[in-house]
Every structure is written in C-alpha cells, then in structure tokens.
Amino acid sequence: MSETSLIRAAQSGDSDAFTQLVQLYSADAFRTASMVLRDHTEVEDVVQEAFLTCFRKLHTFRMESSFKTWLYRIVVNLCYDRLRKQNRDSLAMHKISNNPVTRNGDMAEVEQRLDLKETISTLSPEHRLVLTLFYGNDFGVQKVAEVLGIPVGTVKSRLNSARNLLREKLERGNEYAL
C-alpha cells in the first residue's frame, strides 16, 4: 500500500494503516530525535509524543508535503520544546554498547566512529540536527529546510559551519593523540 493510501486509510479511522506508518518512520524519527536530545529516555518520549500528535492531528494533514516531512517537523519541534522546557542544551549522550561489533572486528574503525560520534555530540543541537538530516537521512538541502522551517541559505550555512567545526575538533583531537 502506498504512503498516500495508508494516510487516507488512517484518516478514515483504520488503525492498522496508522500502525504501518509508525513502523515505516519510527527508526528515522528516533534517529533524528536522538541527534538533538541524545538521552535515550527523552528520545523515546519525544518520538512517542510525535506519533501521538500525528495520530491526533492526522485529519489536518493535507498531503501538501510528504508524511515523513510532516512527522520530522513535529519531532524537531518537540525536541526543541523539550530543550527549552528543561533549559538544557547538552543532554547526556545515549550509551554506546560496550561491545561494538564490526564486519571485520577492526577496533580502529570502531574508535574512529566513536570519536566522530562524540565530536558531533559537542556541537549545538542545530548543527547536530542539520548533519543528521542531511547525512544520516539523506535529505537534500531543500528537504532539510522544509523539515526545519528555515531558509535554504541557513541550512547551507549550518552545514558548512558544522563541517568546519567537526574538522577543527577532529584535527585538534588527533594532535593530542600524537
């Protein structure tokens, strides 16, 4: 069943159709929220609240954008609301498994990914979110702008700033490792 068919069925009261929408987009919603909030419990709460909001307001969805874009906008707004309400810009990063497994067991590769993840976690929520949507979810600049409700130029600027900050921080970290 297509996304449009699922949405129309869910708008007509078909709970199975809405369940399928949740299954389709929950991983992406979780990934997006985790890059802003980074605390596993907070992320779960926001994603659950986002889908509850979608369910309650599904009748207002006019198909002018994709369901995914609409959902991401709700997730992002709830994340920012949560940050403002709790007055915390840097929440604890969700715990990484103690036994990361890679295809070939290369611990250097694991350490590099952990360094990158840790470095990304030091960026502002705005930079983390733009990076996540652009790279993690393979959204184009225009789609990121739609989801965040900001101009394309702002997305480009944040991406550029985030990349430069990452480069600087990673280079500084490598200097200390030598």
As given in the structure block, the two tokens for residue 173 are 């970290």
Closest by CA to 121, choosing from 96, 156, 84, is 96
How far is it, in rounded angstroms, from Cα 58 to Cα 54?
A: 5
Mean pLDDT score, 159-170: 87
CATH topology of domain 1-95: Rna Polymerase Sigma Factor; Chain: A (1.10.1740)
Kindly indicate the confidence band of residue 104, based on its pLDDT and cuts at 50, 70 and 90. Answer: very low
pLDDT digits (tens, 9 = 90+) for 47-63: 999 999 999 999 999 88
Residue 87: φ, ψ to 5°: 50, 45
Asked whether the beta carbons of 86 and 46 are under 8 A apart, the reply is no
pLDDT value for 1: 82
User: What is the phi-psi region of residue 94: left when phi exceeds 0, alpha when psi lies from -120 to 50, beta otherwise?
Assistant: beta
- Quote the CA–CA distance of 164 and 45 in Å, as a whole number: 32
Nearest to 71 by CA among 94, 55, 89: 55
Q: Token pair 């007509």 is at which residue?
A: 12
- What confidence score (pLDDT) does residue 174 get? 59
Domains of the chain: which residue ranges? Answer: 1-95, 97-178
Query: Mean per-residue pLDDT for 140-154?
Result: 91
Domain 97-178 has CATH 1.10.10.10: yes
pLDDT for 110 beyond 70: no
* pLDDT at 94 (0 to 100): 32
